[in-house]
Structure formats: structure tokens, C-alpha cells
């Protein structure tokens, strides 16, 4: 049996204005935190083969080369890795110097996949959301990674910015396609409560009757978002990408194996503050979302964790929701007879409306259904 390994690096040089993830800008803790990660891996062995390793964050490229090397040495020491393991690290474009790029293949476990957060290729919009790189640095970073032999590069984009037009979005898509990425992820910008973007929107809309509700509203209308989403799927399909998950696109053979494991219900081990784990059956566990408490617990040999046992309804809900995110859809035979009858009954009106389809024993979202997937999935859940 195989499992996936996720390692959370919560450090950022500066927090982006839209980000609600757990992170810190206190880089002084990096060395102690790296030691804690190595210690936690030693405390959490598995008999399974690890076939994907994902170093995410935060900004993992804010670790020093020595810290990243120490971390991957601990992975090699603590786990049995598959010979063809996918090893991914997330990076910010401005961290990708020639020396950084060259260091990746020289690690104790060679990094063979890089996921880079470009977000947009427009410098003004990058400033608007608090990114610390510019479009030129995205181009430079891809060139440096290719020159260093990294043959699998993923780029993240966002759409739905304040004042963004369909032509602006098309420019971003075309500019990134010109870089020749192997994989692309694209997400609509959302205003999360407590983030600087949310607070700025709240101030701008202070005259609204319900300012909190107005602040959480997106910068673009639903119709604008729909047009942007369809433009994205059309342009990437024409460029030879598979639309294999709601927000993810890949050239054949370049799907994210790590993220695909999440969507297929595969077990995974989460290392680091706020990281989650799943045994592939009924048990979920997560580490405390506090760096000091996390490090203290691991150093004492008793990681500070919480967890839950999934009910049958929880397992059904997770399986349906995750499966429907993918192009393969939900295999109806994977459900019990009662669950199958329930999901088909709930999905009936969406099939009739053309938002879903049943074929080859699978229930899938249509192109139109993908855009309103949250609404559809909520109706298929068991309470």
C-alpha cells in the first residue's frame, strides 16, 4: 500500500493580502521548526511506501538550502520512498535564484516538481494583492528551473480581481501558456474575513446596508466569473491540457499525483503545524495550529494533536464530494445500494438540467455543472 506525505512550512516573508491560511512572518523560528519537523517524522513511522512528498505552505522557498536539505534527509531516513516518487516544493518566483534552482536536484531526495504561485502576470494587480514579485520574475523563475533540469513545473493563477476584464484574464492565461508549464491551477479570488483585502473591501463599501455581507462579496459578478472560467477551460483545452479537476489542468502524464491522492481518498501523513492526516478509512488527525505549541509538543515526544472518527455519513460525503471534483467522477459501484439510490435521487434534477450526467457507471459534473459544483454537491450530501 502507498501513502502520501505532506510537510507544512508556515513561513512567509510577507503575507499576501488575500491569504487566510495559517502562516507567520517570524523567520527566526525556521531552524528550530525544521528540527521539529524532522523529529515528528521520526515519531510517526509507517509501513507503507511513500510515493508522493509535497512541501507546501506558507512559502517553503523561504527555508535555507541547508534547512530544506536537512528536511529531505529526514524524509529519506524516516520513510520508504517509491523509486519514482513525486517530490514537489512550492515556491515564490522571487525566491528562485539560479543557485536555488540548482540546489533542488542536489537534495538528499531530488525535488522533481515545482509549484509556483504566479497569481497574475499584471504588475499592478500583483501589488493590489500584496505579492512581492513581478511578472518578469515569473518568467525568470521558469527559465532558471528549466535550466536546472526541473522537468515538471506547475503555475498557479487567480482571476476575479477588482476591475479585471475578460481581456485582462485572457492576457494572463496566454502569458503563462507562453512559459510552457506542465500543469496549471486557477482559482477565483475570494475575500476571506480577517484578511487585508476583506477589510479594504469593507471600508470601501461602508455605506452598504449590510457592510459585512458587502465586504464578503466578490469583486466580480457571477456572470463575469462564469465567462472567465469558460475562457480558461477553452484556452487550456486548445493548448492540449486535460481538465482533470475543477481548478486543475495538466498535460497528459503531468497530473499532480499528490493532490490526486487526496481526491481519490488515499491515506496521507501531514507533518508540521496545522497539518492534517488521514488513514484512508475512518480516522482524521491534525496538528495544533500554533508553531510554539507544535514545536514544544514534538520536542517533548508528544505531538499536540486532535482528531476525529468519521461516521458512515462523513465517509459518504467526503467520497462523493472529492470524486465529483475530478473528471473521472463518482464510481457508483463504490457506494452501497442505499447510498447509490440516494445520490441518484438527489442528482436527478441536475441530470435533467444538463449539469450532471451518468455514463459508464459514473456520475459526473458537466462543463456547466463544474462552475456551480458547490451548490450541486451540497444537495448530494447526507446530513
Q: Which three cell numbers stand for residue 369?
A: 455543472
**CATH of 312-380 given 1.10.3470, 1.20.272, 1.10.10, 1.20.120:** 1.10.10
Q: What is the pLDDT of residue 233?
A: 97
- pLDDT given for residue 131 in this prediction: 87
Q: Check residue 162 and give its pLDDT.
A: 86
Which residue blocks in the chain are alpha helix, DSSP H? 30-43, 65-78, 98-104, 123-128, 135-147, 166-177, 196-204, 211-216, 222-238, 257-263, 291-299, 312-324, 337-352, 367-371, 373-380
> For the chain, how long is the longest CA-to-CA vector?
60
pLDDT of residue 226: 95
Q: Where are the domains of the chain?
A: 2-263, 312-380
Q: Which SS3 state, helix, strand or coil, does residue 56 take?
A: strand
The pLDDT of residue 195 is 62
Instruction: Say what the pTM is.
Output: 0.93
Can you give the pLDDT of all 383 residues of the chain as single tens digits? 899 999 999 998 877 666 666 778 889 999 999 999 999 999 999 999 999 999 999 999 999 999 999 999 999 999 999 999 999 999 999 999 999 999 999 999 999 999 999 999 999 999 988 889 999 999 999 999 999 999 999 999 999 998 899 999 999 999 999 999 999 999 998 766 656 565 566 555 544 445 444 444 456 788 999 999 999 999 999 999 999 999 999 999 999 999 999 999 999 999 999 999 999 999 999 999 999 999 999 999 999 999 999 999 999 999 999 999 999 999 999 999 999 999 999 999 999 999 999 999 999 999 999 999 999 999 999 97
Q: How far is CA 187 from CA 30, 51, 148, 283, 326, in A?
A: 29, 27, 28, 29, 15
**b/e per residue, 17-46, with b = 16+ CB within 10 A?**
bbbebbbbeeeeebeebbbbbbbbbeebeb
d(CA 255, CA 251): 7
Answer whether 2-263 and 312-380 agree in fold.
no
Nearest CA-CA partner of 68 in 101, 21, 94: 101
Q: What pLDDT was estimated at residue 352?
A: 97
At the topology level, CATH places domain 2-263 in TIM Barrel (3.20.20)
Rg (CA), the chain: 21
Query: What pLDDT was estimated at residue 218?
Result: 53
Amino acid at each position: 500500500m502507498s501513502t502520501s506525505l505532506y510537510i507544512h512550512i508556515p513561513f512567509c516573508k510577507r503575507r499576501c493580502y488575500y491569504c487566510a491560511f495559517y502562516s507567520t512572518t517570524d523567520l527566526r523560528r525556521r531552524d528550530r521548526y525544521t528540527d521539529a519537523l524532522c523529529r515528528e517524522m521520526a515519531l510517526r513511522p509507517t509501513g507503507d511506501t511513500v510515493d508522493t512528498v509535497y512541501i507546501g505552505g506558507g512559502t517553503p522557498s523561504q527555508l535555507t538550502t541547508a534547512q530544506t536539505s536537512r528536511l529531505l534527509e529526514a524524509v529519506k531516513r524516516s520513510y520508504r520512498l517509491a523509486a519514482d516518487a513525486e517530490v514537489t516544493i512550492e515556491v515564490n518566483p522571487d525566491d528562485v535564484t539560479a543557485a536555488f534552482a540548482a540546489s533542488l536536484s542536489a537534495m538528499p531526495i531530488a525535488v522533481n516538481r515545482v509549484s509556483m504561485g504566479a497569481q497574475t502576470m499584471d504588475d499592478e494587480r500583483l501589488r493590489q494583492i500584496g505579492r512581492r514579485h513581478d511578472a518578469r520574475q515569473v518568467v525568470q523563475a521558469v527559465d532558471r528551473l528549466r535550466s536546472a533540469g526541473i522537468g515538471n513545473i506547475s503555475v498557479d493563477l487567480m482571476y476575479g480581481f477588482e476591475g479585471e476584464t475578460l481581456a485582462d484574464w485572457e492576457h494572463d492565461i496566454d502569458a503563462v501558456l507562453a512559459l510552457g508549464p506542465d500543469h496549471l491551477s486557477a482559482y477565483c479570488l475570494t475575500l476571506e474575513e480577517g484578511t487585508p483585502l476583506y477589510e479594504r473591501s469593507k471600508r470601501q463599501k461602508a455605506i452598504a446596508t449590510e457592510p459585512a455581507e458587502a465586504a464578503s462579496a466578490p469583486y466580480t459578478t457571477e456572470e463575469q466569473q462564469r465567462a472567465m472560467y469558460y475562457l480558461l477551460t477553452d484556452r487550456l483545452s486548445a493548448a492540449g491540457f486535460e481538465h482533470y479537476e475543477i481548478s486543475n489542468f495538466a498535460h497528459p502524464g503531468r497530473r499532480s499525483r499528490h493532490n490526486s491522492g487526496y481526491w481519490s481518498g488515499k491515506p496521507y501523513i501531514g507533518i508540521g503545524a496545522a497539518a492534517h492526516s488521514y488513514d484512508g478509512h475512518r480516522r482524521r488527525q491534525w496538528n495544533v495550529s500554533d508553531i510554539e505549541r507544535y514545536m514544544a509538543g514534538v520536542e517533548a515526544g508528544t505531538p499536540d494533536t486532535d482528531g476525529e472518527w468519521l461516521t458512515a455519513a462523513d465517509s459518504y460525503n467526503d467520497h462523493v464530494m472529492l470524486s465529483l471534483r475530478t473528471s473521472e467522477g463518482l464510481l457508483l459501484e463504490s457506494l452501497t445500494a442505499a447510498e447509490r439510490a440516494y445520490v441518484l435521487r438527489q442528482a436527478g434534477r441536475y441530470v435533467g438540467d444538463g449539469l450532471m450526467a451518468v455514463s459508464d457507471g459514473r456520475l459526473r459534473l458537466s462543463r456547466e455543472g463544474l462552475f456551480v459544483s458547490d451548490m450541486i454537491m451540497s444537495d448530494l450530501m447526507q446530513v
